[in-house]
Amino acid sequence: MSDSLKLFIYLAIMILTTNGVRVLPLTLIRKPIKNRFIQSFLYYVPYVTLAVMTFPAIMEATQSPIAGLIALVAGVLAAFFGLGLLPVSIICCLVVFICETFLV
């Protein structure tokens, strides 16, 4: 098998599998779920997932873990006081940039 054919197959598998996983629940569940436990579970899932993915990953993404931690605190405060997606993101980036001037 040629290398470029092999590369195409790899990428096709990656694309089809990823999107297959995404659409599977949507083909299986079409009606509103009445069960209170499942309703609650699905309501809480996104918050837990995003929280789990944010920390400690934010400390591993930066050169200095402390800069990541300070960015986390700054981001939580900014979001707590009602700032939107873009301002909160920019604040986190700036905090890391400034902190790493001193920390790295």
Partner 1 sequence: MKDNSAFLKGMRDGLPIGLGYFAVSFSLGIIAKKGGLSPLLGFFSSLFTRASAGEYAGYSLIAAGASFWEMFIISVITNARYLLMNCALTQKFEESTKMIKRLLVGMCCTDEIFGISIAWPGKLKPKYTFGATVVAGPMWALGTALGIIAGSALPLRYVSALSVALYGMFLAIIIPPAKKDKAVTACVIAGFLFSYLFSVTPLLKEISSGTRTIILTIAISTVISLIKPVKVKEEEVAKNE
Question: Nearest Cα to 71, choosing from 51, 92, 86, 44?
Answer: 92
**Interface with partner 1 includes 57 (CB under 8 A)?**
yes
- Rounded to the nearest whole angstrom, what is the least distance from the CB of residue 56 to partner 1 in the complex? 5
Residues 5-44 that bind partner 1 (CB under 8 A): 7, 9-11, 13-15, 17-19, 21-27, 29-33, 36-37, 39-44
Supply the minimum distance, in Å, between the C-beta of residue 65 and partner 1: 11
58 near 71, Cβ under 8 Å? yes
| Residues in 76-95 that interact with partner 1 by CB under 8 A | 76, 78-80, 82-86, 88-95
User: Which tokens sit at 94?
Assistant: 């700036």
Total residues in contact with partner 1, by rule CB under 8 A: 75
User: What residue has token string 């931690």?
Assistant: 69
52/46 Cα distance (integer angstroms): 10
**Which of 2, 52, 65, 102 lies at the binding interface for partner 1 (CB under 8 A)?**
52
CA distance 57 to 92: 14
User: Is residue 66 near partner 1 by the rule CB under 8 A?
Assistant: no
Write down the residue that tokens 């990823």 correspond to: 18
